Amino acid sequence: MTIPNTLIRGTVGGEALLSVRYSSFSLDLPVIKWQLKREKSVTVVQSIGTDIIGTLRPEYRDRILVFENGTLLLHNLRLSDDGTYDVEISITDDTFTGDGSIELTVDESISRPYIHMESLSVLELSENVILNCSHDNGTRTAYKWFKGGKPVTNVTRFVLSPDQKLLTITRVLMADDDIYSCTVENPVGNMTSVPIRLTVYRRSSLYIILSTGGIFLLITLVTVCACWTPSKKRKHPARKPHSSFYDQFDHSPINQTDDVLPKRRDHNGIKAVTSLYILQEKDPSMDDSSSNSIGSPSELDNPPCYTSSPNYNETHTHSNGSPAHSSHRYT
């Protein structure tokens, strides 16, 4: 028995032909047995010639066909069919039994890949521009990056992730303004993404000046705010509302005592009382209520008299030798 191809690649939903060649001088039909290696080997099919012996496992029903020379055909492949298959062919009259192994890989086809990035235009000297090679389907995939049609490898500013799916460009320069593409491949095929262009804008001198000035201004503001402490304002006493001369007398009624009528003392020690008369014209802007509190015009025209003044019966003279004045009664 010989095996033409020990590695077979299949796709999900497709077919895989595990081909073997067997020859014998016996006219008897061979006994064929296929097994899939796992932690414990699983019998896929066992037959005499093309006639299957026993009942197939549920996962293999209606998906298996065995040929007379021992070849096995699997339909409607699944990812679980991936693995190593051992085949054993024997005939009663043969001295030796033929055996062998075939490796089957089952993969999912790759969908159209595309490149994803945050922005297609960046400013010169920007940090960490990341290009992501994305796709919807595919197993056991590998990635390759191209810049201007040439492969990209790990260099100082171009960093590839371990699986090479991500391409990171640090500190973008004007030389990085180019066309980028990625290729995705697996055991059953490969596909290349639609190229995209990364546009790099030159950083102008005005931009550098403005950005530097903005940073300096920000640092200055932070410093000022950190050092500034609020000052304590003096509390000014509440200003008393303006009150008129009459209001004072309204709230503090005149006391017919020595506080209102000032005294003067002559050289002989005799107290003399001087009456204080205060006359003021009525303010026309004042309302009736204020005029009532002050007094009627008749009261202003006829000032009050004081009858509590003491009588002086003694005759006194001034210090400058003027004739003596007789005492008067104040009425």
List all residues 6 or more positions away from 30 whose beta carbon is below 8 Å from its beta carbon.
22, 24, 48, 49, 68, 70, 89, 90, 91
166 and 84 within one domain:
no
| DSSP designation for 193 | P
For Cα atoms 193, 195, 199, give the angle at the middle one, nearest 5 degrees. 140
Mean pLDDT of 99-121: 91
- Count of structural domains, the chain: 3
In a domain? residue 90: yes
Q: Which helix (H) or strand (E) holds 166?
A: strand 166-169
96 and 131 within one domain:
no
| Domain interval for residue 195 | 114-201
* pLDDT tier at 58, thresholds 50, 70, 90: very high
Per the rule left: phi > 0, alpha: psi between -120 and 50, beta: everything else, 234 is beta
Sequence letter at residue 5: N
In a domain? residue 38: yes
120 and 78 within one domain:
no
71 and 15 within one domain:
yes
* Mean pLDDT, the chain, whole residue set: 75
- Which of 107, 139, 163 terminates a domain? The answer is 107
In a domain? residue 64: yes
194 and 141 within one domain:
yes
102 and 21 within one domain:
yes
Cα distance between residue 148 and residue 39, in whole Å: 48
* pLDDT tier at 319, thresholds 50, 70, 90: very low
Residue 183 and residue 150 in contact, taking contact as beta carbons nearer than 8 Å:
no
In a domain? residue 86: yes
List all residues 6 or more positions away from 250 whose beta carbon is below 8 Å from its beta carbon.
293, 294
List all residues 6 or more positions away from 319 whose beta carbon is below 8 Å from its beta carbon.
266, 267
Q: What is the pLDDT of residues 290-306, one digit of tens each?
A: 444 444 444 444 555 44
Cα distance between residue 225 and residue 155, in whole Å: 45
The domain spanning residue 18 has which CATH number?
2.60.40.10
- Burial of 30 per CB tally in 10 Å (0-12, 13-18, 19+): buried
* Letter string b/e over residues 244-253, b meaning 16 or more CB atoms within 10 A of that residue's CB: eebeeeeeee
pLDDT of residue 157: 87
256 and 172 within one domain:
no
Q: Lay out the sheet containing 16-18: strands in order across.
A: 16-18, 72-74, 64-66
196 and 153 within one domain:
yes
pLDDT of residue 260: 43
* pLDDT tier at 26, thresholds 50, 70, 90: confident
Mean pLDDT of 19-24: 86
Return the closest-CA partner of residue 182 out of 155, 143, 138, 148: 143
Q: What is the pLDDT of residues 254-264, one digit of tens each?
A: 444 444 444 44
In a domain? residue 2: no
User: Is residue 222 helix, strand or coil?
Assistant: helix
Residue 60 has φ and ψ, to the nearest 5°, of -115, 0
Check pLDDT > 70 for residue 91.
yes
Q: Which two tokens stand for residue 246?
A: 């009459």
Return the closest-CA partner of residue 31 out of 91, 101, 94: 91
Cα distance between residue 244 and residue 323, in whole Å: 43
DSSP one-letter string for 233-269: PP-PPPPPPP--HHHHHHHSPPPTTTTTS-EEE-TTS
In a domain? residue 323: no
Check pLDDT > 80 for residue 106.
yes
In a domain? residue 324: no
In a domain? residue 316: no
> Between the ranges 101-110, 125-134, 255-264, 287-296, where is the mean pLDDT highest?
101-110
